[in-house]
Structure 1
Amino acid sequence: MEFGNGIEMDVSYTDGTNEIDYDTQDSINYSYVNFLNFGQGLSDADIRSTIPRAANAYGLELGLQTFNLDFNQGLGDLSLAYGFEFRTDSYEITPGKPYAYADYDTDPVTGADLYPQNAGGAIQGFNGIAPASAVDEERDVYSFYVDGEYQISADVLVSAAVRYDDYDDFGDTTNFKLAGNWALTDTFRIRGAISTGFRAPSMQQLYFNNISTQFVTDPADPTGPQIAEQVGTFRNDSQLAQDIGIPSLKEEESDNYSVGFVYTPLDQLSVTVDFYKIDIDDRIVISNKLKAADDPTGNLGDALAAAGATSAQFFLNGANTETEGVDIIATYSGIELGSGILDITFAANKTETDVTDIYTDGGLAAVDPDVVFSSQDISIIEEWQPEDRINLGGLYMVGNWNMNLTFNRFGEYTVEDGGRQTYGAVIVTDLNIRYMFDNGLSLNVGGNNIFDEYPDKNKIGNSRGGTLEDAPGGNVIVSSPGVFDYSRRSAPFGFNGAYWYAGASYSF
């Protein structure tokens, strides 16, 4: 909407929800087998015919509602924009069916074993979430901003912005940005910016809460069978977190610096290069699975006993990081080729992130940070994504036809998951062909990863590997190196191979 005094106003409202339901199939709850065997005295045949082999584990729902009111106006050489935003974040965890989480052979009051050979509770492979861990939370966020650009001269443009955000669940923050663009010649410009930033704790980091049975290797018997443990992920405001003095999550804060240039030696050719540095303080990371022995004060042991868990992990502000990198983009447009026009785009990025510090606060201050955060936690931040990526794309337009071909190179990356494995670089090719009719209708066909490239096969972190025998030293029923052919931790371009599609659109 435009007013007579030159002020333009834009009003918008968005409402979106993302839902996921998890089901576990082809598995059983072994504690339920004990319940049938000892609780009801059924025969083996009756037990086999009675055991459920699937259950709903739990559901997740993340919602976002946003109302924006934005204004912009020109005041001579000054362009001014300002506005207001109101946002509501919502997060729900819906418990699964009892068979997915229940422990049928343990007394729910005393925790005592009800039957011999007590088995771990919950359906195996992917445990469900019990009603005690259900979540239904909302938060409101109010934001205001002012952004101005001033043309000092024909060659120099400067801009500044400030933004204020107020979260009703953890506090407020104010951030700013200063930037400039200076044309040294008709073909060469330099530009730079400095800003502060923040990232509020996500709803999942604040409120995800669950205790599940997990099977781990016994440190006292590394080659022996895995043992069942009750591992809890405790929300930031849980009773256990309060008992041991876990600090409330606060926002991650960043200082951002960039400098670069734009070079346009020809009307058809443009090259931009930008160097950047990002320092993040109080980064939110998830801790190791901490046990009573890890805390010399004894508080964690008492809290774990009260919660009925063997170990606990939390989301904490516990790391500072430094990121440095460079972006290069070159475009050559309007190339006459045959009867059509070809546009070529080249883009490359090189980024390196280092964890400069890890620390513990509050009730975990007495615990060594190297115990709270493992080398795998550091590897997640530093190594699990390629440091370099290159794209080369061409768009060819002839008549009513558009053809877009892109080559995407993903560089090497390393995953630490028990062991360490470096995955090789891969080139993924995407193709799209579109025909546009004169009446506004267009049809397109295409494919992503058309040459069916896959990442390297996984050699580490292959959970549930091993041999299943009908008795110790007896016949082998199943022998498997694991259930994950490809890394379940990181796959920058996925592991589903080629994807083909067709579509239609109509412009009124």
Structure 2
Amino acid sequence: MKLFLCLLSLVVLGLPRAQAEPVVAGQTLYDLPLEELVRVQVPLQADVGTRDGAHTALHAIVPTDVYTTEQLLSVGEMGLAYALAALVPGFNHPRPSIADGTDHAPPFTLRSLSPDQVLVLVNGKRLHQSSLLHTNSTIGRGSSSVDLNTIPLLAVERVEVLRDGAAAQYGSDAIAGIINIVLKGYGQTNQALLGWGRTTQGDGIQRQASLFHSTALASDGFFNITAELRDRGSSNRARPDADGQTRLHFGDADTQDGQLAWNAELPQGDTTLFSHGHLSRRHSRAGAFFRNADSDKNLPSIYPQGFLPQIAPRITDLSASFGVKGILASGSPWSLAYTAGMNDYRFFVRNSLNRSLGADSPTRFDSGSTAFVQHTLNADVQHNFGPHSLAGGYEYRRADYRIRAGEPASYTLGPDSPWYAGAQGFGGFSPDNATHAQRDSHAVYLDAKYALHPQWTVLGALRAEHYSDFGPTLNGKLAVRYQPTPQWLLRGGLSTGFRAPSLTQTGFTSTSTVLDGSALLQYGHYGVSHPVARALGAQDLKPEKSQHLTFGTVWQPSPQLTASMDGFVTEIDDRIMPTSYIAKSSLAQLSPQAQAILQQYGVEGATYFTNAVRTRTHGVDLRLDYQHDLAPGRRWHLRAAYSYAATRITGVNAAPSVLGVDMTDLVLDPYARVTLEAGQPRHSAKLWSRYSTAQYDLTFNLNYFGSYASTYGSDKVGFAAQWTLDAQLSYRLSKNTTLTVGGTNLLNTRPSQWGQTTDPIIGVGKPIAYSQYAPFGFNGAAYYLRLGVRF
């Protein structure tokens, strides 16, 4: 916060007089002379937050940020989530490694909350989540998230980030906020990009080819299509072993993406047909833990030097929206839309073996897949009554989640080993793990905006939903905007919200079998309706419920300068968390009854999801946007932002009595508590600056990431705050050709290190220097070249 206030003071006190006079009250663009008109910057507007049309920062009832495609491309990242992490304070996107499926589709968070507590929209329509459940010790453990990197950057016109609870308007998940991705629409220029980059250590080579093409249709219609190929080589920051060889892989996965996105509108009289969507196909590969040559997990006849199993998933992601919109005779806008989304995550394992099958073991496995399908139908109508507005609608949503078994060799326990069954690195889903879960929901909503006075506006929202698995919810929102002067805005709001338990949380089951003497024992995670979980006290999951308070102000002394400050408090009840390992070895007070249940089912240990704790998150967001015309054709644009968000556990629910332990022991082991309260930086700040001329653009992006913590055993380990710096120079070789050179993390900042660690399950040394919680990864500095052509 001190950083932001210092920057604000320097900018405000040292502002030179802009050469272009601001548009005064009552003056329109039609009144401006041509030489000033061409230099006018239209204020960025956002559609999300209210349903009565786009609004600027000075007129928004709820805090909303807007990031253009030029800003997203200016930070040198190929993926949308990585670009947002470089620009948006409070947007956290670590890059974990040795975390099974999470390596290949890492989650993001907003305001230090969970990945599944952020709602993502595309053109205002809900985007589906991934079928991947993050089960390892990473940020986002126990959640399923949206994979933003499936949408090519070149297809995006802007990204709107709403920083407020909005479930009363948009439904489940909108607790931390909303990200609305707006695709390029009418009047866009065709564009192609070729990019290449690598880290300063010579790995992580990136290649990119993108093409955006827009076709004009009749009556201001358009059909835009974007195609992109991305190839990101792996990086490795593992330490060498004692003999000087680096056997472990700890770094980015080796990933190839093929992507296609479209956006289209075709006016037909008083109505308009529209469609948008994307298709993404990802092949990826990353390492698990290394198996030494003399390990009892290895067969020297197959791997004389030991082996590093590789998890190599194939991920397909598809979303498609089709609809029609128009304006009634009364002047009321309406729309009807259908959206289908699908994510299929198929696990393959390479360079591995099933030790229990002996010399007959294959070295490549199909370990099964998870799939999530979502169908959404929306009907909306809105009407203005002078300065007032009223909107209503209906939404039907159907979700389908499946687990498909892998090939037998991926999960079978063979005769040649007393150890666990299946492919090493990622054991396959067995037929007993196969799942098919479905859910329907119906929702009706009403939004009203009432102008009490030219200076006072009140927003009210009410949304009622009914889910087929847990029943009804009712949520409301009341927000007020007071504008005492044309340059100053005060705003605040109260709302309730919720997050429906994901089908991955209710239905995910993954188990492994071990041979203990003559007894077969099972361990793993069980869905809440599984007989083992039920016997151990699992109940149907309830929705997480939230309460929100926001309050803030916006100051715009001139069209060139806008500053805002917004505080917030978010309380969440019944947060869903996985239990710790339910076994006598890990829960010393486990009841004899629970031990008997484990023995009855032949289970060594089990986990499942439960509604566990209550939390409070509070914080503040500061924003500053300043643009200054230095001379004709020259412009300086500065965006400074700061975010503070702190989460605390304020209550713990009762644990199932059958276990004989309290909920603190059951879910809040040192790892879970530290991750929830301190695993993400509380403080973050961004300073983005661009100097533009007719010939070139020079951009700097300074990032501050606050301290965070992790655990080693039962000990809390803190990691220091860090700074990173990105820079980019874009030079126009001709009117339509631009050459860009840039670097990310030019300070070569690395996270704080911790010492040599040993994995308690694998039992081999992990020469890992950095925490997986590091908010900016651990690759260090990188540079890139990019050639852009407009045609």
Pairwise TM-score range, normalised by the shorter structure = 0.7 to 0.9
State percent identity of aligned pairs: 28
Q: How far off is 1:442 after superposition?
A: 7.9
Alpha-carbon offset, residue 203 of structure 1: 1.6
Task: Say whether 1:368 aligns with 2:676.
Answer: no
Q: State how far apart, in whole Å, the 1-side matches of 2:659 and 2:446 are.
A: 40
1:332 aligns with 2:642: no
Shift of 1:178: 0.4
For 2:377, the aligned partner's letter is F
| Aligned AA (2:644) | K
Larger-Rg structure: 1
2:765 corresponds to: 481
Letter matched to residue 256 of structure 1: H
Q: State yes or no: 1:82 paired with 2:365.
A: no
Q: 1:138 to 1:396 in 2, by over 3 A?
A: farther
Aligned residues of 1:287 and 1:372 also touching (Cα < 8 A): yes
Aligned residues: 457
- Higher strand fraction (1 or 2): 1
Query: SS of 1:122's equivalent?
Result: coil
Deviations 1:144-169 (A, max 9, x none): 21111111111111111011122212
For 1:193, the aligned partner's letter is G
2:439 paired with 1:139: yes
Tell whether 2:457 aligns with 1:157. yes
Task: Describe the shift of the 1:128–1:456 C-alpha distance in structure 2 as closer, same or farther (beyond 3 A).
Answer: farther
Contact 1:420 1:460 survives alignment (8 Å): no
| Equivalent of 1:414 in 709, 720, 724 | 709
Q: Aligned pair 1:277/2:560, yes or no?
A: no
Are 1:426 and 2:722 counterparts?
A: yes
In structure 2, stretches of 5+ residues that fail to align are 1-325
How much does 1:264 deviate? 2.1
* Per-residue deviation, 1:394: 1.6
Please say if residues 246 and 361 of structure 1, whose CA atoms lie closer than 8 Å, have aligned partners that are also in contact: no
SS at match of 1:57: strand
Q: TM-score, normalised by structure 2?
A: 0.53
1:493 corresponds to: 776
Residue among 345, 355, 380 paired with 2:649: 355
Confirm or deny that 1:13 pairs with 2:323.
no
Partner of residue 456 from structure 1, selected from 744, 747, 752: 752
Match of 2:51 in 1: none
Residue of structure 2 in register with 1:109 after alignment? none
Question: Which residue in 2 is equivalent to 1:399?
Answer: 694
Contact 2:691 2:697 in 1 (8 A): yes
Kindly indicate whether the alpha-carbon contact (under 8 Å) linking 2:465 and 2:474 is maintained by their aligned counterparts in 1: yes
Do the aligned residues in 2 keep the contact of 1:246 with 1:364 (CA within 8 Å)? Answer: no
2:483 aligned residue:
183
Alpha-carbon distance in structure 2 between the residues aligned to 1:282 and 1:416: 24
The whole-number CA distance in structure 2 between the counterparts of 1:145 and 1:268 is: 37
1:4 Cα deviation from its structure 2 partner: 1.6
**Amino acid aligned to 2:337:** S
8 Å contact kept, 1:60–1:91: yes
How far apart in 1 are the matches of 2:629 and 2:454?
30
Q: What are the superposed Cα offsets for residues 251-301 of structure 1, whole Å, 9 maximum, x if unpaired?
A: 000110011111223332211111111111100011100115656554422
Residue 69 of structure 1: how far off its partner (Å)? 1.8
Q: What runs of 5+ residues in structure 1 fail to find an aligned partner?
A: 34-46, 106-114, 216-227, 468-479
1:66-118 alpha-carbon deviations (Å, 9 max, x no partner)? 2222211101231112212222222222222222221113xxxxxxxxx7x72
Encode CA deviations 1:434-473: one digit per residue, 9 max, x unaligned: 6789999988676654555432345376527998xxxxxx
Given the alignment, which residue of 270, 273, 290 partners 2:582? 290
Q: Which one of the candidate residues 379, 390, 397 is aligned to 1:69?
A: 379
Q: 1:225 maps to what in 2?
A: none
- Is the Cα–Cα contact under 8 Å of residues 463 and 484 in structure 1 kept in the other structure? no
Partner secondary structure for residue 379 of structure 1: helix
- Deviation track 1:50-76 (CA, whole Å, cap 9, x = no partner) reads 443332223222233322222111012
CA contact (8 A) 1:295 1:301 kept: no
> One-letter code of the match for 1:495?
F
Q: Is 1:274–1:327's contact at 8 Å kept on the other side of the alignment? A: yes
CA distance in 2, matches of 1:417, 1:249: 31
Aligned to 2:205: none
In 2: Cα distance, 1:52 partner to 1:157 partner: 68
Change (3 A) 1:19 1:502: farther
Give the Cα separation in 2 of the matches to 1:17 and 1:503: 33
Residue range with higher mean Cα deviation, 130-139 or 453-462: 453-462
Q: Quick one: which amino acid aligns to residue 348 of structure 1?
A: Y
Residue 291 of structure 2 aligns with which residue? none
Distance in 1 of aligned mates of 2:704 and 2:679 = 16
- SS of the equivalent of 1:184 reads strand
Q: CA deviation at 1:376?
A: 1.5
Provide the C-alpha distance between the structure 2 equivalents of 1:188 and 1:354, rounded to a whole number of angstroms. Answer: 33
Shift in CA distance, 481/261, structure 1 to aligned 2, threshold 3 Å: same
**Distance in 2, Cα, partners of 1:466 & 1:71:** 57
Instruction: Summarize the Cα distance change of 1:75–1:124 in structure 2 as closer, same or farther, 3 Å threshold.
Output: same
* Alpha-carbon spacing, 1:244–1:503, altered in 2? closer, same or farther (3 Å): farther
1:249 pairs with one of 519, 541, 554: 541
> Partners of 2:599 and 2:552 in 1: how far apart?
56
C-alpha contact (below 8 Å) 2:567/2:621 kept by paired residues: yes
> After the TM superposition, which residues 22-41 of structure 1 pair with which residues of structure 2 at under 5 Å, given as runs?
22-33=347-358
In 1, Cα distance between equivalents of 2:374 and 2:789: 28
Q: Call closer, same or farther: CA 1:68–1:261 in 2, change over 3 Å.
A: same
Classify 1:247/1:491 alpha carbon distance in 2 versus 1 (closer, same or farther; 3 Å). Answer: same
Match of 2:551 among 230, 238, 259: 259
Residue type of the alignment partner of 2:569: K
**Paired residue secondary structure (1:265):** strand
Q: Hey, what's the Cα distance between the residues in 2 that align with 1:460 and 1:345?
A: 40
RMSD, aligned CA? 3.1
Q: Relative CO higher for 1 or 2, CA cutoff 8 Å, sep ≥ 6?
A: 2
Q: TM-score, normalised by structure 1?
A: 0.81
CA distance in 2, matches of 1:451, 1:120: 45
Q: Do the aligned partners of residues 284 and 160 (structure 1) sit closer, same or farther apart at CA in structure 2, a change above 3 Å counting?
A: same
Rate the CA distance shift 1:452–1:190 in 2: closer, same or farther, 3 A: same
Q: Residue 237 and residue 363 in structure 1: after superposition, are their counterparts in 2 closer, same or farther (change >3 A)?
A: farther
